[in-house]
């Protein structure tokens, strides 16, 4: 299972616990200000949140690329305003074009954003931007207008409060808050990014160029939107501002500033681009998981998301949702007991059955929502209780759970849909599914002088992907290329 984010935005995360109040000097601005957490708390929060980030996205295994970001990260933190923090850098296994930072020194790049960088200088600018959020203590400076953000729910999936109850519990291990930085903080981090990347020898004008790539991504229908664009300044405006900041810095500090285009492209040659089919994918309204060799239907028109821990989907009206995950326990009976305990369910029906030859247990249960104080208020519980249909299925040496969730009043109307999905659970033997390969970035040399369009066509790229490939290469299709120049192409 793997994340599928459409128009999904991840910024930096903090855990809502133990804020400490005090007045101290900001390491970047030099100004005295009220800070809500100590350095020790920042470090602790980063360490606490890291396992949840990994569980949500997974780590992308590329030792050479990991060594590169470690090297540049170490060089940059040495010249930063807070060199004493225990920084760590990770590439997470998500196709979304994204980078984010967690208090205490944890910095994450998705493989999606690594695939879209076209030189080391672009990477260094974004690295400086994210480290800037940490050194300027933006998470600590942010006021209490933080938004509870469950990483596992897709953007745009609007669930009723009653239905959301079980979804929240299913990912309680995340325990994260989404923090949308203010425009002032983003602008400050852009300035820090210019400073830090320049100090380790990179041309910050390339950081400005990358904002052009982000703008094109946001304008292209159906593309994932980068983290920088949530409540952030327009990327076109930021491109102009960063361009001026880079020019000003280089005027004040004359030196040779590197771009290192070819060296970077060679580092990402072969990186997975887009979804990785082996971790699960949806095709023709069916979810397939090649590694687990299973499949089940996805209702037409439902939105869905796939993460390493679960697959979940919901009707557009937000009145029903379903989740698929690995169940706890080594037997069906143990899995049933764990489900009841973990989700605080009151079981109404419990029956043994088989689903396409696989032993299974089906349960119908209720779950009452809790008030903010944690006490179940009778009137409130009656109005907001949810009902759950659970199928626990023994297959391939594992036990899987499929849950259908809706408000009590809507449950009967949705039960047939839930049953259709669960009863469609079965094995996969189609080699076309089991052997599906992901797209990968393949770096090629341009064969002749011409345009990017010519070069892509010379390398057998499909017409319907040329616009996408232009964005990946950070160019227009009409841009001039010369023989021997390196460009990105896509192939299995």
CATH of the domain at 368: 3.40.1000.10
Q: What percent of the chain has pLDDT over 90?
A: 62
Predicted local confidence at residue 57, as pLDDT: 87
Distance of CA 236 to the CA centre of its chain: 23
One domain, residues 95 and 190 = yes
pLDDT band with cut points at 50, 70 and 90 for residue 470: very high
One domain, residues 58 and 101 = yes
In a domain, 1, yes or no: no
Cα separation, 148 vs 317, whole angstroms: 21
Predicted local confidence at residue 299, as pLDDT: 97
250 — alpha (psi -120 to 50), left (phi > 0) or beta?
alpha
CA distances from 222 to 148, 209, 214, 215, 242 (A): 25, 22, 14, 13, 27
Cα separation, 73 vs 107, whole angstroms: 9
3-state DSSP helix/strand/coil % of the chain, to nearest 5: 40, 25, 35
Residues pairing with 346 in the sheet: 366
In a domain, 285, yes or no: yes
Predicted local confidence at residue 454, as pLDDT: 98
- What is the pairing mode between strands 88-92 and 106-110? parallel
Say if CB 316 and CB 301 are below 8 A apart: yes
One domain, residues 386 and 468 = no
Does the pLDDT of residue 436 top 90, yes or no? Answer: yes
CA angle (222 as vertex; 216, 227 as ends), nearest 5 = 60
Higher pLDDT, 103 or 254: 254
357's tokens: 């030859």
Q: Which of 404, 433, 462 is the last residue of a domain?
A: 433
Does the pLDDT of residue 356 top 60, yes or no? Answer: yes
Cα separation, 83 vs 105, whole angstroms: 10
In a domain, 153, yes or no: no
Predicted local confidence at residue 13, as pLDDT: 34
One domain, residues 233 and 85 = yes
One domain, residues 388 and 362 = yes
Q: Which of 388, 408, 433 is the last residue of a domain?
A: 433
Half-sphere exposure of 359 (CA within 13 A, CB side): 10
Predicted local confidence at residue 30, as pLDDT: 59
Does the pLDDT of residue 487 top 90, yes or no? Answer: yes
In a domain, 4, yes or no: no
One domain, residues 268 and 281 = no
Predicted local confidence at residue 380, as pLDDT: 53
Predicted local confidence at residue 75, as pLDDT: 98
Cα separation, 244 vs 247, whole angstroms: 5
Reduce the DSSP state of residue 11 to 3 states and report it: coil
pTM above 0.85, yes or no: no
One domain, residues 382 and 479 = no
Does the pLDDT of residue 151 top 70, yes or no? Answer: no
Pick from 307, 291, 274: nearest CA to 397: 291
Say if CB 284 and CB 276 are below 8 A apart: no
In a domain, 2, yes or no: no
One domain, residues 95 and 240 = yes
Q: Give φ, ψ of 346 to 5 degrees.
A: -110, 110
- What is the pairing mode between strands 358-367 and 106-110? unpaired
pLDDT one-digit tens code per residue, 160-188:
444 444 444 433 323 333 334 567 778 88
- Cα dihedral angle (68, 217, 323, 374), rounded to 10 degrees? 90
Predicted local confidence at residue 63, as pLDDT: 97
Pick from 8, 58, 460, 15: nearest CA to 278: 58
One domain, residues 232 and 89 = yes
Read out DSSP for 41-98? Answer: HHHHHHHHHHHHHHHHH-B---HHHHHHHHHHHHHHHHTSS-TTS--EEEEES--S--
Predicted local confidence at residue 17, as pLDDT: 33
In a domain, 156, yes or no: no
When divided into structural domains, the chain yields a total of: 3
In a domain, 5, yes or no: no
Cα separation, 183 vs 231, whole angstroms: 7
In a domain, 157, yes or no: no
475's tokens: 């160019």
Q: Helix 235-252 and helix 205-219: axis angle, to 10°?
A: 170
What is the Cα Rg of the chain in Å?
A: 24
Higher pLDDT, 171 or 431: 431
Q: Which of 242, 273, 304 is the last residue of a domain?
A: 273
One domain, residues 323 and 405 = yes
Predicted local confidence at residue 273, as pLDDT: 97
One domain, residues 34 and 78 = yes
Predicted local confidence at residue 159, as pLDDT: 40
Does the pLDDT of residue 192 top 70, yes or no? Answer: yes
Predicted local confidence at residue 237, as pLDDT: 81
One domain, residues 358 and 398 = yes
Predicted local confidence at residue 139, as pLDDT: 66
The residue segments making up the domain with residue 480 are 438-491
DSSP secondary structure letter of residue 258:
B
- Give the mean model confidence (pLDDT) for residues 415-440: 96
């Amino acid at each position: 299972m793997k994340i599928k984010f459409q128009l999904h935005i991840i910024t930096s995360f903090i855990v809502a616990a133990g804020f400490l109040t005090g007045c101290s000097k900001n390491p970047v601005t030099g100004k005295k200000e009220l800070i809500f957490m100590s350095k020790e708390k920042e470090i602790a929060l980063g360490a606490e949140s890291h396992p949840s980030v990994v569980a949500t996205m997974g780590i992308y295994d590329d030792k050479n690329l990991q060594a590169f970001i470690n090297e540049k990260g170490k060089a940059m933190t040495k010249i930063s305003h807070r060199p004493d923090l225990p920084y760590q850098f990770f590439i997470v296994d998500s196709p979304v074009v994204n980078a984010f930072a967690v208090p205490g020194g944890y910095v994450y790049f998705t493989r999606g954003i690594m695939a879209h960088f076209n030189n080391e200088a672009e990477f260094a600018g974004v690295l400086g931007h994210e480290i800037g959020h940490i050194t300027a203590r933006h998470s600590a400076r942010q006021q209490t207008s933080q938004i509870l953000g469950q990483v596992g729910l897709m953007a745009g999936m609007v669930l009723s409060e009653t239905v959301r109850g079980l979804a929240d519990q299913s990912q309680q291990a995340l325990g994260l808050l989404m923090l949308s930085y203010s425009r002032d903080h983003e602008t400050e981090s852009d300035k820090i990014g210019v400073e830090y990347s320049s100090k380790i020898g990179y041309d910050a004008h390339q950081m400005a160029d990358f904002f052009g790539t982000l703008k094109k991504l946001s304008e292209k229908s159906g593309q994932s939107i980068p983290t920088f664009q949530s409540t952030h300044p327009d990327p076109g405006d930021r491109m102009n501002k960063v361009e001026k900041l880079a020019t000003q810095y280089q005027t004040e500090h004359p030196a040779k500033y590197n771009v290192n285009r070819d060296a970077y492209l060679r580092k990402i040659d072969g990186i997975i681009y887009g979804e990785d089919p082996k971790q699960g994918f949806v095709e023709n309204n069916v979810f397939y998981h090649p590694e687990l060799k299973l499949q089940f239907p996805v209702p037409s028109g439902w939105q869905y998301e796939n993460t390493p821990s679960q697959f979940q989907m919901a009707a557009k009206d937000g009145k029903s949702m379903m989740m698929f995950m690995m169940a706890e326990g080594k037997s069906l009976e143990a899995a049933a007991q764990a489900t009841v305990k973990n989700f605080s369910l009151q079981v109404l029906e419990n029956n043994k059955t088989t689903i396409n030859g696989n032993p299974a247990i089906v349960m119908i249960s209720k779950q009452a929502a809790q008030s903010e104080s944690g006490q179940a208020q009778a009137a409130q519980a009656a109005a907001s209780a949810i009902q759950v249909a659970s199928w626990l299925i023994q297959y391939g040496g594992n036990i899987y759970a499929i849950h259908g969730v809706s408000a009590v009043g809507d449950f009967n109307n949705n039960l047939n849909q839930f049953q259709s999905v669960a009863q469609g659970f079965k094995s996969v033997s189609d080699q076309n599914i089991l052997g599906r390969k992901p797209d990968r970035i393949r770096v090629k040399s341009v064969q002749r002088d011409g345009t990017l369009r010519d070069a892509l066509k010379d390398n057998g790229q499909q017409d319907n992907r040329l616009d996408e490939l232009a964005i990946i290469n950070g160019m227009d299709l009409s841009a001039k290329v010369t023989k021997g120049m390196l460009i990105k192409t896509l192939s299995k």
